[in-house]
Amino acid sequence: MSFNRLLAAATHRHESLLCVGLDPEPSKFPEHLRGDPSKIFEFCARIVDSTKDLVNSFKPQIAYFAAHRAEDQLEELMAYIRRVAPDVPVVLDAKRGDIGSTAEQYAREAFVRYQADAVTLSPYMGFDSIEPYLKYDGKGLILLCRTSNPGGSDLQFQQLANGEHLYEHVARLAAGAWNRDQRLGLVVGATFPNELARVRELAPTLPLLIPGVGAQGGDAAATVRAAWRPDAPIMVNSSRAVLYAGQGEDFASAARQVAQATRQTLQLARKA
The residue ranges of DSSP E strands in 213-269, in sequence order, are 234-238
Following DSSP, what letter does each residue of 146-182 receive, concatenated? Answer: E-SSGGGHHHHT-B-TTS-BHHHHHHHHHHTTT-TTS
| Domains contained in the chain, number | 1
What DSSP character marks residue 188?
A: E
Spatial CA neighbour of 155 closest among 163, 143, 165:
165
pTM of the predicted structure, to 2 decimals? 0.95
Domain span at residue 228 reads 3-271
Where the chain has pLDDT below 70, the residues are: 214-218, 272
Task: Return d(Cα 40, Cα 23) in angstroms, integer.
Answer: 10
Task: Return d(Cα 129, Cα 109) in angstroms, integer.
Answer: 15
What is the per-residue pLDDT for 213? 74
The catalytic residue positions are 95
What is the per-residue pLDDT for 216? 60
Q: CATH number of the domain that 133 lies in?
A: 3.20.20.70
What is the per-residue pLDDT for 23? 97
What is the per-residue pLDDT for 177? 94
Residue type, position 121, single letter: L
